[in-house]
Structure 1
Amino acid sequence: MPNTDLDAIDRKILRRLQQNGRLTNQQLCEDVGLSPSPCLRRVRALEERGVISGYVALVEPETVGLPVNAFVRIRLDQQDDHHLATFENAVAEFPEVMDCYLMTGEADYQLRVLVPSLAAFEDFLRKRLTRIAGVAQVTTSFALRPIVNRTALPVQD
């Protein structure tokens, strides 16, 4: 359910925190034109309403030994609730899976997988992913380099 009751200041707060989640309340209130107490109240309200769901540090995969970025499309042999749940529960346990989406079209799921090498990807594919009950087809594409990689949502005024 969309939060359509965000005003211009809420949106400005969201844009600034997406740019730098480590801003102090003092820095944030100066950037958005509020005094410290109302600014902090607004941030807490955005957190309580689930608009802000958390704060993270963004880490460059290559710097921690994860240079291989694979996009994996999965078809299941059946798309009933049991098979979908089995697949979803299994991939949720794999730390290599950075994103998993239920899809329309030719694939049932699209995964983004980060691994240290092609050999590690082969091991992941053969020993774990294809052993999930119901996996019928796997198609993989490897990213050569990122062109656009955003984490900030385009929050408009």
Structure 2
Amino acid sequence: MKPPTKPLGRSAKGTLDRIDLAILEALRQSGRITYQALSERVGLSPRPCLERVKRLEQKGIIRGYTALVEPAALGHDIIALAGISMRDPSVSARQRLERAFCAHPSVVELQVVNGEYDYIARIVAPTLAAYETMTEAFLADPSFGIGRIHTTFVLKTLKAFEGYPVLDSGD
């Protein structure tokens, strides 16, 4: 998944019509759908349907396509939600930390948040010891400016993230 070429405003949905939303919902449900089947589902001929998908990709509304993989099947037996508080909130420390976290393969999601923590990270690891080694390395490096990492371990996933809703109850 790549970030959009330019940040989308909150009103981006306002520029999407009923067919765009139907295309997004169909792709969200089945990213491997053929253009023929997609065009039939949304009521367009294949060529205009393909052009709409390409336009949604170019605008950054469709960021990419991926397979949803079971973490345990890849040896990610530990899933942690880490709240990270900065000791040194300087721009340079934040940039170093963000680059390091975004480049680390175990950090699968990183959000800048407000409140008690500065960041929330979803981190996967094969074992508790591997997770501890990774977080200790980040804490030990003063250039990252981390004051504290508060970890909550996932015991069981009841509903996994499978994409953002396209059609909400207000539609």
Shorter-chain TM-score range: over 0.9
Matched, 1:155 2:166: yes
Residue 74 of structure 2: which of 52, 64, 68 is its match?
A: 64
Q: Take 1:77 and 1:121, find their aligned partners in 2: how far apart are those partners?
A: 21
SS at match of 1:38: helix
Match of 1:142?
A: 153
Match of 1:26?
A: 36
Supply the AA of the counterpart residue of 1:154: P
Q: Tell me by how many angstroms 1:48 deviates.
A: 1.1
Deviations 1:85-128 (A, max 9, x none): 121111112100011111111111111100111111111122x2
Q: Tell me by how many angstroms 1:9 deviates.
A: 0.6
Unaligned ranges ≥5, structure 2? 1-8
Q: Tell me by how many angstroms 1:80 deviates.
A: 2.1
Match of 1:85?
A: 95
Supply the AA of the counterpart residue of 1:99: E
SS at match of 2:68: coil
How many residues align structurally? 156
Q: Take 1:152 and 1:99, find their aligned partners in 2: how far apart are those partners?
A: 13
Supply the AA of the counterpart residue of 1:150: F
Please tell me the root mean square deviation across aligned C-alpha atoms, in Å: 1.2
TM-score, length basis structure 1: 0.94
Deviating beyond 3 angstroms after TM superposition, the runs of 4 or more aligned structure 1 residues are: none
Match of 2:116?
A: 106
SS at match of 1:69: strand
Q: Tell me by how many angstroms 1:45 deviates.
A: 0.9
SS at match of 2:89: coil
SS at match of 1:98: strand
Unaligned ranges ≥5, structure 1? none
SS at match of 2:92: helix
